[in-house]
Chain A
Amino acid sequence: MTASLTLVVLMAVLFGAGVSIMLERSLTRVLIGFLLVGNAVNILIYLMSGAPGLAPILGEGVDPDTISDPLPQAFVLTAIVINLGITAFMLALIYRSWWLAQLGAKGDLVDDEEDMVEDAEEAADLIRSSAADDQAIQDLIDASDEEPDEGLELEASARDRDDEEGRP
């Protein structure tokens, strides 16, 4: 297999630029990064066909040995159309979140600090509730254990028992 260094470098640049934008907080930027990464990945898949040849269309007098590998092309074609769908979906998300956020002034930003606090509280709640359930059943079991200082009444009644029972 041979590779075109140009395409590898291009793919790396698109990928790197895409990733660095995706790390921003604005959803629009994330989407822009997603598009770049999508293009980069398409190039990567396409790279796997090796050296380019003729279009993979078996016309008159086309030698099947001279055509490009059609397999990555089929993958990429699918990926391109899926990219369109995901982009539209993310845009709808962005629009919706903007619409909701318009009530405040946050635009399409996602607020992390509130999330963090909420997450931490949620986790603490979960731990508390599961620990409370466990503790409840444990208390119930412990409550049934006989404690020796209550043994006095037993002593008295134990004798009666032996009398009445008459069993071994």
Chain B
Amino acid sequence: MIFSLALFGALALVTPLLTKWLGRRVFAVIALLPAAVFVLLLTWMPGVLAGTPVVEIVPWIPTLDIALSFRLDALALLLALIVTGVGALVLLYCMHYFADDEPALGRFAALLLAFAGVMFGLVTADDVFILFTFWEATSVLSYLLIGHYTGRKESRGAALQALTVTTFGGLAMLVGLVILAVDGGTTSLSELVAHPVTGAAGEWAIALVLLGAISKSALVPFHFWLPAAMAAPTPVSAYLHAAAMVKAGVYLVARLAPGYADLDVWHPIVIGLGALTMLVGGWRALRQYDLKLLLAYGTVSQLGFLVMVTGFGTRDAALAGVTLLLAHALFKATLFLVVGIVDHAAGTRDWRKLSGVGRRMPVIATIGIVAAASMAGVPPLLGFVAKEAVFSAFLEAVAAGDGWAWVSLIAAFAGSVLTVAYSVRFVWGAFYSKKDVADCALHAPSPAIAVAPGLLAAASLVAAFAIPFIEPLLAAYADELPGSHDYHLALWHGLEPALAISAVVFALGALLVWGRQRVARLQAAVAPVLDSARGYLGIVSVVDRVAATVTTTIQSRGLPGYLAIIVAVFIGGLGTLSILNTSWPSEIRLWDYPAQPFLAFVMAVAAIAAATVRQRMTAVLLVSVTGYGLVLLFGMSGAPDLALTQALVETIVLVVFVLVLRRLPKQIAQRNPPVHKLARGIIGALAGIVMGVLGLVALGARIEPTIAEGLPALAIEAHGKNIVNVMLVDIRAWDTLGEISVLVAVATGVASLIFVSGRTGGAPRLDHVEGLVNRRDRLRPVPEPAWSIRAPRTSLADTAGETDAAGEAAETRQTWLLAGRTISPRNRSILIEVLVRLLFHPAIIVSVFLLFVGHNAPGGGFAGGLLAGLALVARYLAGGRYELGEAAPVDAGRLLGTGLLLAAGTAAGSLLFGGPVFESAWFETEVPLLGTISIGTSTLFDIGVYLVVVGLVLDILRSLGGEVDRQEERQTADDGDGDFTTGDGEGAAYREGVEHADGAEYSGGARLPNPEEARR
């Protein structure tokens, strides 16, 4: 079974491709699979009937006791035969129903085949959660199939209604199944039926599961989605909404009946709603002009009938129920397929416009009449056999004094009268020549289209005579229920009460047909009372409106408004809780050491000042005060790693901030503050107070000893003395792996936002600047004018147009940096150049040192990477973007990728040796200067962290630094010469140089549109 299911899935996946190649003939190919499964099931039948179900189990989630378990017993076999048999025929029918140019034919074929597989899985699944998964999958596939005509409003509306209703029921069912599984201690459906869950839990669980079943099988009050679903193509209606999917609810009722039919909630739901549905559906079917809707309401009626009979709870009723199930699948699928043919041929299925169809399409008409007769219960067809069995079963129960039997009997009787009447209406409407209607134009379909409905109709007839051979399969299930095994299915039982009832049913049905006009008037008068579709529409529209109102009210004021509401909820919720709280810390110290309050005071003042100043740069500097304050706080209270990292990060943040802010206006604009200033202050103050109280409460609420006591031992075990670092790279390495993944994402995001396209690569290199081809020249600091790089000059003395003496002096000065001459002479500082030149390499060495000693002393990958990043920051600040490119001549993305790969590789590497993820291994060695170090997998991991951090800083610098520079220069150049003090010739040469460099740097990459150009 599992193999068959996998085949269904695989074939469905390739079906769209096959369709491209085969067109509509693909249906013939994919129909082979359900047909093959049908045959396979037949070969299993003897074993199943002998009492040994076919069972397949593959463990899936052992901790939740969920397994891919499938069990094919008699009931499952019957359903599976219907699903695969009707499925194969419907697929075959599709080949003639659709044209090759049908839009989305591949998708349709794949979905229909997938549905067949899912439905097969549903009826054979033994694990309740696997059953539920298939259950919901049928809902989703049904949604997609109903909505096949995506452009039609009614298709979309119908699809969504079906999905909403069945999913609602499905969720209720899931809750019920969870209760059953937990209370029953097993997820096996067969076990749960054999050993039923009783008591209140059982009642609730079954009520919820039945809610799912009745929503799926379109019982009142959920019946309205099924007629709406007729917006689907006819094969879908025939298969999903007649033979297969809607039977899922009936199947579940039949499946549970042996164990749960005597619960208190069972009969009111199953019989009460079943009887009501049967009458409501039949009543409305009698009113329809649209043949397909007539069948849809008829299906609703029959589904109510089926649920009522199969859920009745006696052996005879169950036998009648499964017989009816088989009969209904055969005749209703046939009828839908016939309507599809008529619709195709005549272009309408409104019987007011149909006339003379039967005369000109006799084969189709015969098939339709046979199926309709089976629906009405006319002998000698399977429908008659089933209905006889139903009446006999109910009569017997009435005789036994069962109260519900009366309800069932009367409903079955009245419903059958309606069924006869609408069956006649169908046949007459579809096939007969109406006097006042002109014969409609028919374009005859290929005769082959009649094969599928013909076979199904023939089955209705043959099965009635072959009933002794079919009975063992049906009885094998029914015998699980209480009751004598005397009753046997047969076409002729002799003159008995059930036959009399059938006769009366036919008579009354004929009366209804004869009194057609009076019935129609009556129907028009009372119909709206039973219309729950309007209720659904009302509920949906109210929900829509409430959702829209709530959303637009809460989220209407932009980011500040959102945040204000979020913070207000935080204050209201956690504030209330902290007022009610009783666990306060046992002891409160004013401070840990005397310097603490002083530091805290400075930081607090800086924070409040940052909240009030209007200048961006000042605010940023004030925030930095709090950041550097943290460095001191951490450093003075036993957290050297934090102090080191915080100091490095704070510096980089400050620089990056300045890099961006230099481009923004100095003053922070203020216009219509969305949250009033005072209100902002109050919200902020309250949030701060709540947070403070929370901090105290959190400290006071802690009763268990910290797990820190075990950490030193773990650290030693991991060959490290610095516990914080060991935690990062070993004990909690998963966390760190997640974090560096975030960093990679952030770096990519930053680059993507700044470089509009083509964000890969490193910072620009000098090689790309013309006039500096000789590698040796780059390494030798020589006195040479800065402009020579941008605009080659004939000689050193050629300074025509240069008027700025200081600029000239700077220009010819010796440079200390590789790309020092690429920046404007006036922006160069000899002091900085010298410092950076002297400090860069030591800083890199120290960063590597930090990386390797991190395991035993303050440092590690983060600190090392940040220090290396800071060194790059210095190079960039002193020498500009080309200097950055020379300092780190690598692609930032490669650094990030290598780092992440190294870290993840270390994590996964241990798997190759059979260990768990992140298992560590070491070797110790003596290294001069560094002392004894253990090089292990965690060291490799830390190197990965180091590379990611360096890559992040490099990406930030080349984006927010280099690229922003380039955009600014370009804009300035475009703005004209006003900003330059140099003469026209120089200015032009400069621009040329810049543009040239640009072209080389980012070949093929689009740039941010220049605002100046855009404005023009």
Which residues from chain A sit less than 8 Å from chain B, CB to CB? 1-26, 28-30, 32-33, 35-36, 39-40, 42-44, 46-59, 64, 67-71, 73-74, 76-78, 80-89, 91-96, 98-99, 102-103, 106-112, 115-116, 119-120, 123-124, 126-127, 130-141, 143-148, 151-158, 160-162, 164-165, 167-168
- Give bound CA distance, A160 to B591, whole Å: 103
Most buried by A among B590, B669, B735: B669
Give the residue of A11, A23, A28, A44 whose beta carbon is less than 8 angstroms from that of B683: A23
Give the residue of A44, A94, A157 whose beta carbon is less than 8 angstroms from that of B434: A157
- Give bound CA distance, A64 to B721, whole Å: 11
Known: A14-B607, A24-B673, A165-B424. A7 touches B514 (CB 8 A): no
Task: Quote the shortest CB–CB distance from B461 to chain A (angstroms).
Answer: 16
- Give bound CA distance, A48 to B704, whole Å: 13
Q: Judging by beta carbons under 8 Å apart, are B513 and A158 in contact?
A: yes
Q: Judging by beta carbons under 8 Å apart, are B699 and A47 in contact?
A: yes
Does chain A have a CB within 8 A of B642? Answer: yes
Residues of A within 8 A of B721 (CB): 57-59
Does chain A have a CB within 8 A of B706? Answer: yes
Q: Judging by beta carbons under 8 Å apart, are B603 and A10 in contact?
A: yes
Known: A52-B638, A71-B711. A6 touches B596 (CB 8 A): yes
Residues of A within 8 A of B95 (CB): none
- Give bound CA distance, A2 to B634, whole Å: 17
Q: Judging by beta carbons under 8 Å apart, are A29 and B668 in contact?
A: yes
- Give bound CA distance, A120 to B153, whole Å: 23
Residues of A within 8 A of B698 (CB): 48
Give the residue of A26, A58, A91, A102 whose beta carbon is less than 8 angstroms from that of B656: A91
Q: List 11 A-B contacts (CB under 8 A).
A: A2-B587, A7-B633, A26-B668, A46-B634, A64-B709, A74-B727, A84-B653, A103-B1011, A127-B541, A136-B153, A144-B290
Q: Judging by beta carbons under 8 Å apart, are B607 and A17 in contact?
A: yes
- Bitwise, B613-631 to A at CB < 8 A (1) or not (0) is 0001001100100110010
- Give bound CA distance, A139 to B427, whole Å: 25
Most buried by B among A13, A110, A152: A13
Residues of B within 8 A of A8 (CB): 692, 695-696
Interface with A: B464-472, B856-864, B934-942, which one?
B856-864
Q: Judging by beta carbons under 8 Å apart, are B641 and A13 in contact?
A: no
Interface residues of B in 834-881 (CB under 8 A from A): 856-858, 862, 866
Q: Judging by beta carbons under 8 Å apart, are B627 and A35 in contact?
A: yes
Does chain A have a CB within 8 A of B158? Answer: yes
Residues of B within 8 A of A127 (CB): 541, 544-545, 548
Q: Judging by beta carbons under 8 Å apart, are A96 and B548 in contact?
A: no
Residues of B within 8 A of A77 (CB): 641-642, 645, 724, 728, 862
Residues of A within 8 A of B1008 (CB): 99
Does chain A have a CB within 8 A of B398? Answer: no
Does chain A have a CB within 8 A of B960? Answer: yes
Give the residue of B603, B699, B952, B1015 whose beta carbon is less than 8 angstroms from that of A14: B603
Give the residue of B653, B684, B689, B709 whose beta carbon is less than 8 angstroms from that of A87: B653
Does chain A have a CB within 8 A of B949? Answer: yes
Known: A68-B637, A161-B428, A167-B373. A109 touches B671 (CB 8 A): yes
Give the residue of A71, A136, A143 whose beta carbon is less than 8 angstroms from that of B727: A71
- Give bound CA distance, A139 to B750, whole Å: 52
Residues of A within 8 A of B33 (CB): none
Task: Quote the shortest CB–CB distance from A70 to chain B (angstroms).
Answer: 4
Residues of A within 8 A of B688 (CB): 12-17, 19
How big is the B interface, by class?
Answer: 35 or more
Known: A77-B642, A153-B436. A2 touches B288 (CB 8 A): no
Task: Quote the shortest CB–CB distance from B880 to chain A (angstroms).
Answer: 18
Residues of A within 8 A of B761 (CB): none
Interface residues of B in 211-251 (CB under 8 A from A): 227-228, 231
Give the residue of A10, A30, A96, A140 whose beta carbon is less than 8 angstroms from that of B604: A10
Does chain A have a CB within 8 A of B362? Answer: no
- Bitwise, B375-387 to A at CB < 8 A (1) or not (0) is 0001000000000
Give the residue of B513, B611, B692, B727 whose beta carbon is less than 8 angstroms from that of A20: B611
Task: Quote the shortest CB–CB distance from B787 to chain A (angstroms).
Answer: 29
Interface of B is mostly: helix
Known: A74-B727, A78-B736. A89 touches B557 (CB 8 A): no
Task: Quote the shortest CB–CB distance from B673 to chain A (angstroms).
Answer: 7
- Give bound CA distance, A76 to B646, whole Å: 10
Residues of B within 8 A of A29 (CB): 619, 668
Q: Judging by beta carbons under 8 Å apart, are A7 and B510 in contact?
A: no
Residue of A nearest to B548 (CB): A123
Q: Judging by beta carbons under 8 Å apart, are A99 and B420 in contact?
A: no
Q: Judging by beta carbons under 8 Å apart, are A58 and B716 in contact?
A: yes
Task: Quote the shortest CB–CB distance from A15 to chain B (angstroms).
Answer: 4
Does chain A have a CB within 8 A of B776? Answer: no
Give the residue of B555, B684, B691, B742 whose beta carbon is less than 8 angstroms from that of A85: B742
Does chain A have a CB within 8 A of B793? Answer: no
Interface residues of B in 409-449 (CB under 8 A from A): 420, 424, 427-428, 432, 434-436
Known: A29-B668, A127-B548, A148-B520. A95 touches B627 (CB 8 A): no
Q: Judging by beta carbons under 8 Å apart, are B436 and A28 in contact?
A: no
Q: Judging by beta carbons under 8 Å apart, are B707 and A71 in contact?
A: yes
Q: Judging by beta carbons under 8 Å apart, are A88 and B956 in contact?
A: yes
- Give bound CA distance, A116 to B293, whole Å: 44
Does chain A have a CB within 8 A of B743? Answer: yes
Q: Judging by beta carbons under 8 Å apart, are A85 and B746 in contact?
A: yes
Q: Judging by beta carbons under 8 Å apart, are B153 and A58 in contact?
A: no
Task: Quote the shortest CB–CB distance from B590 to chain A (angstroms).
Answer: 5
- Give bound CA distance, A4 to B432, whole Å: 94
- Give bound CA distance, A49 to B637, whole Å: 11
Give the residue of A95, A115, A131 whose beta carbon is less than 8 angstroms from that of B754: A95
Interface residues of B in 680-697 (CB under 8 A from A): 680-681, 683-689, 691-692, 695-696
Task: Quote the shortest CB–CB distance from B524 to chain A (angstroms).
Answer: 5
Known: A22-B563, A144-B289, A154-B520. A13 touches B541 (CB 8 A): no
Q: Judging by beta carbons under 8 Å apart, are B669 and A107 in contact?
A: yes
- Give bound CA distance, A42 to B669, whole Å: 30
Known: A68-B639, A146-B523. A11 touches B533 (CB 8 A): no
Residue of B nearest to A4 (CB): B592
Most buried by A among B555, B556, B611, B716: B611
- Give bound CA distance, A19 to B684, whole Å: 5
Give the residue of B228, B432, B514 whose beta carbon is less than 8 angstroms from that of A141: B228
Residue of B nearest to A12 (CB): B692
Known: A7-B596, A56-B724, A162-B513. A28 touches B699 (CB 8 A): no
Most buried by A among B687, B742, B956: B687
- Give bound CA distance, A68 to B708, whole Å: 9
Q: Judging by beta carbons under 8 Å apart, are B157 and A133 in contact?
A: yes
Known: A81-B743, A84-B653. A145 touches B600 (CB 8 A): no
Residues of A within 8 A of B510 (CB): 162, 168
Does chain A have a CB within 8 A of B608? Answer: yes
Q: Judging by beta carbons under 8 Å apart, are B668 and A89 in contact?
A: no
Residue of A nearest to B863 (CB): A77
- Give bound CA distance, A86 to B597, whole Å: 30
Give the residue of A30, A124, A135, A165 whose beta carbon is less than 8 angstroms from that of B548: A124
Starting from the known contacts A39-B630, A57-B856, A110-B558, 9 additional A-B residue pairs (CB-CB under 8 Å) come to A16-B688, A23-B674, A54-B638, A57-B857, A81-B862, A92-B960, A112-B674, A116-B556, A158-B514
Q: Which 10 A-B pairs have the closest CB atoms?
A: A16-B688, A20-B684, A12-B692, A133-B157, A52-B637, A168-B506, A112-B558, A144-B290, A136-B153, A85-B746
Residues of A within 8 A of B692 (CB): 8-9, 11-12, 15
Residues of B within 8 A of A43 (CB): 630, 633
Q: Judging by beta carbons under 8 Å apart, are B724 and A7 in contact?
A: no
Residues of B within 8 A of A57 (CB): 640, 721-723, 856-858
Task: Quote the shortest CB–CB distance from A64 to chain B (angstroms).
Answer: 4
Most buried by B among A2, A119, A130, A140: A140
Task: Quote the shortest CB–CB distance from A18 to chain B (angstroms).
Answer: 7
- Give bound CA distance, A30 to B559, whole Å: 9
